[in-house]
Structure 1
């Protein structure tokens, strides 16, 4: 038997794909530490403390500090500064990412784009270590730059999923990545919260413990990114739109062509609209959970910290469970049922009694299970609705739409609280986002959308 006969008899491509999928998972593990430790938990309170000193609020500044600091000629309240910085980075990303996506599709070097954006972003995040005393300016610039670069790296990361998995493998691969991310982010967050809360046992002050935790997230992000960059392989660009000029000019041209052609993919657009709504609801539930638990249900920091950690680790199982469920019933059905589950969660949350830890944690478990699944399957299902060779652009639009509208939910939450004076109607008002998401999902024909994009229809849709 010749070598060619052996090759024809034994197809090793599934083994190679699975090897690359395992390498790909490591980037979820790497970047999740930044999003959990830095953006979700530690940066906001620490920035308020540091900026509060500069504004004259003292060392105990919190989000009620109304004294202002000067930001490029604007006088912003120190207590609101983290929110403004996050919003600016989000809006800037919404405009920048589609251009980045077009460039990625043309370059044929997705893994290196992911890697260099990740390393540049982690370097910017490492500068947060030097935010101390009343010197908040470097930290403000660092968090904006690192957040934008993190979004740029995710454009390539998501696009690579299409290169390393078949349509039938997509849901499981994406779910394992999300699960791995929750596990990695939760593990480092646990280590950092122990260091911050028990800083005296380590012989350091609390602020130094926070700064070291911020630095650890940057190093974690940079270090673990080496694994996928080394083990993944780049593929040549496919189905590139002919455009004149250099790479950047051609990328702009391809972007405009793609935007014009999206009318030919109505199911893709329908899913993007559905995703805008239900993802905004998910992000607002995550944002408001600690506020609701603290201000309405009167839980202390220890309960809230325990809930945050529990959600990270339970979401690991939720992502894997939904991935297996999708293999049997299809990602579309799982996403639709997931939006129904989110509706039930926010309605039940409205009736939670104050200071009942068991019921609060039970709702947290439900949030974690559904959150892990819906986020993982949204990514994999959308990948089936993308024409080949346009993964970077479409995932850039996916991320840009997510970032560009993620303030709707928080705006509604704040307005309802202002009108009613209670967080209970504010939390239940978020059900409108899941209802609208479900309405658009019900209008979507998944099989038609996959076929229109030129992809193979998985065994379970």
Structure 2
């Protein structure tokens, strides 16, 4: 059906232009929000909420072999599965929230206000973790849900600026620079938290939990403070629909109506949907590795928190170079081929992680270095590839669908991981289930005719794919 779509009117649209200041402002939101992804999601929150849930289950703080249960809303849940299940629940809510946020962004003359509202809500919820003490696992879970959904909503609005910052041949480089700066910012805050942990941790479980709590709070402060930079330097790029409305009407109700029209019309772009399916599958695997790496390290490999922080810090700084390096490679062989190569490397990472010995910090750090080299590039180039497949004027809505499976909101991987743990009490066995996400995702992405898909969406393909 896509072959019958003739978006010739869009072909005459000149490539978007932006200033260096504006692009730098856009990069800085990656710097701001990466603190949440790195310090909170990747390192501290999993072990922190798992420990709080274990306290609520009657376990002694610091006991790694306790298999107690908690009962949120009367449902029996293993304390070790509480955090993975929270991640899965958050995506069920984002399925409804994020596309609506995107539709509202496309109809709004003030996208920066939407970015501010979502970012500051998420940052506030993150800082609220200060009050998650004792056995308050329900409060911690609720704050995480608010923060994670707000995080995704802000990313939807943020990503919708990308197609308006550069032409088809520029977006891979723009997206890669944003990811690279994000890893640098996230790594810097993590380094500061590492210094705090090393300086003030006296080895008691109580002190370790307190330091984790304050590290999470610091990420909320970082996120809020640096969001002020893009809010000042970015320019509004209202869509044709927003300009036609001229601020009249209700943006919320108009956004819902526009989303309904898009859902009815999206079948005209089956190749865009096919790419989104491929991304959903392989990104599910990537996000599960990122989100549950710290839990795997503490609970299965019995590594200390300092080892985990050093490893994730290593990942962050290598990912800075990896994002720029794969971005440069994409400029030579194309983003599509580069992402396919990264998925082969991700498969090797999973196999290596399964074979890691317990209580061995060095092999874990070496594996982290490998992850860092492929992580940033695979994510940055997936984002820019998708920007080529979006019909003009619907960037927010389509990035709403995209974000459902991005940035920690994937659900199949964490659900499988949590279920396998509940059945086997082994995180190592759960890790094996992630291989299928990378293999199937690779095959699906390989089957996407990218150049034809870009033309069918009414866009001009880049020189190399």
TM norm structure 1:
0.87
Deviation track 1:279-309 (CA, whole Å, cap 9, x = no partner) reads 1121233345445555665655443332222
Deviation at 1:138, TM superposition (A): 3.6
Counterpart of 1:22 (choices 24, 30, 49) is 24
Deviation track 1:130-169 (CA, whole Å, cap 9, x = no partner) reads 2223444443322211111111111110001111122111
Q: Would you say the 8 A contact 2:122–2:150 is kept in 1?
A: yes
Deviation at 1:224, TM superposition (A): 0.2
Counterpart of 1:380 (choices 384, 400, 416) is 384
2:7 matched residue in structure 1: none
* SS of alignment partner, residue 60 of structure 1: coil
| CA distance in 2 between partners of 1:52 and 1:288 (Å) | 17
1:307 matched residue in structure 2: 311
Counterpart of 2:455 (choices 430, 451, 454) is 451
Counterpart of 1:45 (choices 31, 47, 51) is 47
1:85 matched residue in structure 2: 86
Q: Would you say the 8 A contact 1:167–1:457 is kept in 2?
A: yes
Deviation at 1:75, TM superposition (A): 5.3
1:120 aligns with 2:121: yes
2:62 matched residue in structure 1: 60
Deviation at 1:450, TM superposition (A): 1.3
Q: Would you say the 8 A contact 1:48–1:63 is kept in 2?
A: no
| CA distance in 2 between partners of 1:160 and 1:446 (Å) | 22
Deviation track 1:250-275 (CA, whole Å, cap 9, x = no partner) reads 21221121112122212211110110
Q: Would you say the 8 A contact 1:93–1:403 is kept in 2?
A: no
The answer to which of 319-328 and 422-431 deviates more is 422-431
| CA distance in 2 between partners of 1:187 and 1:363 (Å) | 21
Deviation at 1:19, TM superposition (A): 2.3
1:332 aligns with 2:336: yes
The answer to which of 434-443 and 21-30 deviates more is 434-443
Q: Would you say the 8 A contact 1:120–1:146 is kept in 2?
A: yes
* SS of alignment partner, residue 240 of structure 2: coil
The answer to which of 165-174 and 357-366 deviates more is 357-366
| CA distance in 2 between partners of 1:445 and 1:240 (Å) | 32
1:139 matched residue in structure 2: 140
2:170 matched residue in structure 1: 169
| CA distance in 2 between partners of 1:359 and 1:136 (Å) | 33
1:362 matched residue in structure 2: 366
Counterpart of 1:320 (choices 324, 334, 344) is 324
2:8 matched residue in structure 1: none
* SS of alignment partner, residue 133 of structure 2: coil
| CA distance in 1 between partners of 2:428 and 2:60 (Å) | 32
| CA distance in 2 between partners of 1:63 and 1:170 (Å) | 48
Instruction: Tell me which of the two structures has the higher relative contact order, counting C-alpha pairs closer than 8 angstroms and 6 or more residues apart.
Output: 2
Assess, with a 3 A threshold, how the Cα gap between structure 1 residues 133 and 415 changes in structure 2: closer, same or farther.
closer
Deviation track 1:163-184 (CA, whole Å, cap 9, x = no partner) reads 1122111001111111111111
The answer to which of 211-220 and 422-431 deviates more is 422-431
1:256 aligns with 2:241: no
Q: Would you say the 8 A contact 1:239–1:388 is kept in 2?
A: no
| CA distance in 2 between partners of 1:379 and 1:396 (Å) | 12
2:10 matched residue in structure 1: none
* SS of alignment partner, residue 160 of structure 2: helix
Assess, with a 3 A threshold, how the Cα gap between structure 1 residues 269 and 304 changes in structure 2: closer, same or farther.
same
Which of the pair has more CA radius of gyration?
1
Q: Would you say the 8 A contact 2:40–2:216 is kept in 1?
A: yes
1:213 matched residue in structure 2: 215
Q: Would you say the 8 A contact 1:127–1:138 is kept in 2?
A: no
Deviation track 1:363-390 (CA, whole Å, cap 9, x = no partner) reads 3222111111101100010001001110
| CA distance in 2 between partners of 1:274 and 1:27 (Å) | 26
Assess, with a 3 A threshold, how the Cα gap between structure 1 residues 413 and 34 changes in structure 2: closer, same or farther.
closer
Q: Which runs of 5+ in 1 are unaligned?
A: 1-12
1:237 matched residue in structure 2: 239
Assess, with a 3 A threshold, how the Cα gap between structure 1 residues 328 and 239 changes in structure 2: closer, same or farther.
farther
* SS of alignment partner, residue 146 of structure 2: helix
- Cα RMSD for the two superposed structures: 3.1
* SS of alignment partner, residue 198 of structure 1: helix
| CA distance in 1 between partners of 2:167 and 2:31 (Å) | 22
1:409 matched residue in structure 2: 413
| CA distance in 1 between partners of 2:351 and 2:60 (Å) | 39
